[in-house]
Each structure stands twice: as structure tokens, then as C-alpha cells.
Amino acid sequence: MYPIAKRQASLFDLNGDFIEFIELPLIFSYPVRIDIIRRAVHSAFTAKIQIKARDPLAGKRRVGESWGIGYSVARVPRLSNGRAVLAPNVVGGRRQFAPTVFERIHEEINRKEMRLAIISALAALADRGFVLKRGYILPDKIRTVPIVVVDDFENLATTKQVKEYLKKLELWNNIVRAQKRIRIRAGKGKMRGRRYITPKSLLFIISSAKSPVTRAIRNLPGADYLTPDNLNILKLAPGGLPGRLAIISQKALKLIERRYVVEKP
């Protein structure tokens, strides 16, 4: 059952001034299902993992034969010089239970279930409690979430312009907070091109990936951008915890309403 009342959001211009309250699409009033969101995040995360396996001939390239009894040595395959080969318990032998490509790593999920998870994650963007739970800093001028901006925002082409606009909205502290928490990863991942961990900050939802503002957003620490045609559950609810602080353009909001149509009870 969907709630009848629509939530409202604040609309801001390019000067960071409040214009009016606008009604959000009915999808933002949907109940937040954290259980489905976490299942969808787990499915999307495991889909990215590359299956690995061992060479079928690993440890089996040395031809050995057991000597049998009477030599006071273990009856494992040996070379003529006495070196043990092939067996799992010897140096250079095969691995006993090596990983195979038939291992089931991807946790599959139904398409309708993934769609429901995305709808729930979008609804969490309009819940101030979920946003504050993720640790975002909200100024007094912003009473409702998500933050809706005019379409001219998508024409900002440089990171400097986006930075000045975020300062006008008093949201720049969320970018600074993510930048200060950048740290070196623990473990061997630091040697494999994943040296640093950057916390998530703001989420921008724009109408098109070809908008000039995309080149500016990618330079902001922890910031991501999405389009209504490509909503990713890993960016809407990182780690399975919904409620990112989102900035949505008016055009993107209309496209979301058109793409995710829900009916009143």
C-alpha cells in the first residue's frame, strides 16, 4: 500500500536562494524496505566479482611414481631422485580443493525485486532521518530532502563553479568531511590499484550523462552522479545503508516520475 500524501522538497536557484516548495513524485513516499535494499546491494556487489580458478595442470606437470614399500619413505609419487611430487601434501604438489570457475559467487535477484529496491532507495533520499543517520551535515536553510535545483545547474562546467554553488547552499562541509577521511586501505588491496578509501559524500541526479556538470562532479571527493535511466543501487545506498544527501535537477525529477509510475491505493 502506498501512502496518499506526497512529500515536498525545496527548490533552489543558481544563487542558492529558496524559490518555492514543490511536490515530489509519489515514488518518494514509498515505504523504505531496508531488507530488500541490502539484498539488492549484495547482488549488485557480487555481480562485479571476477570468478577465479587455478590452472588444471598446476602441480601436475612432474611425472612421478610411488616406490612402494620397503624404502622407509612415504608412498607418495616420487621422481627418480627421491623428490615427492603431485600429492597435495608435498612441496610443489597440486592444491587439494582449488577454486573453480563453477563456484557460485553472484547472488542473483529478481528484476522486480531490484526495481523495488531502487524505489525504496529513492524514497530514503526524501527521509531526513535516513540522511542524518549517514552523518551528513544539513544547514538550517535546508529543511527538506532531497534538494531540488533548477535545470541551469546542469550547465555548470567547472568544479570551481560547482564548489561555489555548494557553498551558497552551505553543503560544502560534506565534501570537506569526505576529503578529510580519505585513508589508506588495510591489506593487500593497496598493492592492486586500490590504495585509498574515499568515503561517500553528495549524490547528484541529473537528466543526462552528457551534461557539462558531470565533468565537474567527478573531481569532488566522494561525490557521484546518476541519471534517471541508469539508477545504481550501489550509489543510491552504498553498503546497504540508504539515505544519501541528493541534489536533483528539475528535469531529472520529471524523468524519474515518468520512468517509475506508481498508483495510489
Q: Which of 104, 128, 149 is the last residue of a domain?
A: 104
- The model's pTM is 0.88
Say whether both 147 and 119 belong to one domain. yes
222 and 192 part of one domain: yes
Rounded distance between C-alpha atoms, residue 42 and residue 233, angstroms:
10
Residue 3 in domain: no
Residues 76 and 177 both lie in one domain? no
Sorting pLDDT into bands at 50, 70 and 90, what band is 264?
A: low
| Shared-domain flag, residues 155 and 70 | no
Domain membership of residue 210 (yes or no) is yes
Same domain, 34 and 142: yes
For the stretch 67-114, pLDDT in tens is 999 999 999 999 999 999 999 999 999 999 999 999 999 999 999 999
Give the range of the structural domain holding residue 61, as residue numbers without chain letter: 50-104
My answer on whether 35 and 57 are in the same domain is no
The reply to whether 25 and 85 lie within a common domain is no
Last residue of a domain, one of 58, 74, 104: 104
Is 167 domain-assigned?
yes
Please tell me whether residues 86 and 196 are part of one structural domain.
no
Are residues 164 and 210 both part of a single domain? Answer: yes
Residue 37 and residue 63 share a domain? no
178: in domain: yes
Whether residues 176 and 245 share a domain: the answer is yes
Task: Specify the pLDDT at position 261.
Answer: 80
Domain membership of residue 1 (yes or no) is: no
The total domain count for the chain is: 2
264 located within any domain = no
The confidence band for 64, taking pLDDT boundaries of 50, 70 and 90, is very high
Looking at the structure, do residues 126 and 176 belong to the same domain, yes or no? yes
pLDDT in tens, 178-237: 999 999 999 999 999 999 999 999 999 999 999 999 999 999 999 999 999 999 999 999
Instruction: Output the domain CATH number for residue 213.
Output: 3.40.1370.10
Q: Is residue 225 part of a domain?
A: yes
Tell me if 2 is assigned to some domain: no
> Which of 75, 104, 133 is where one domain is finished?
104
Residue 5: the pLDDT is 79
